[in-house]
Amino acid sequence: MRRAARRDENEQAIVEALRAIGATVCMIGLPVDLLVGYKGETILIEIKNKNNSYGKRGLNQNQIDFLNDWRGGLFFVVNSVDEAIKFLKEIP
């Protein structure tokens, strides 16, 4: 039996903050953490937690391969609530 993927400690706070500014947020896990709708845009967000060794390493190979092939909308890697909100607020 496969275990559920471990979520980043900062993920719930980021999800709540994005929803508070009016974003639709789906926690998907693969290939990235979040599918977000905001201002008519579809955005993929990968959350990293720089407080642990896994987060400090950045994107894993599966995520890099996905991003290299991605032909869709915006893709952000965020480490904090402030960073996530900043990226979304910059969308025209």
* Residue entry with tokens 């967000």: 45
**pLDDT tens, 26-44?**
999 889 999 999 999 999 9
Q: Give this prediction's pTM.
A: 0.85
Per-residue pLDDT of the chain (92 residues; tens, 9 = 90+): 444 456 667 899 999 999 999 999 999 988 999 999 999 999 999 999 877 666 667 888 999 999 999 999 899 999 999 999 999 999 98
What are the chain's domains?
11-89 (3.40.1350.10)
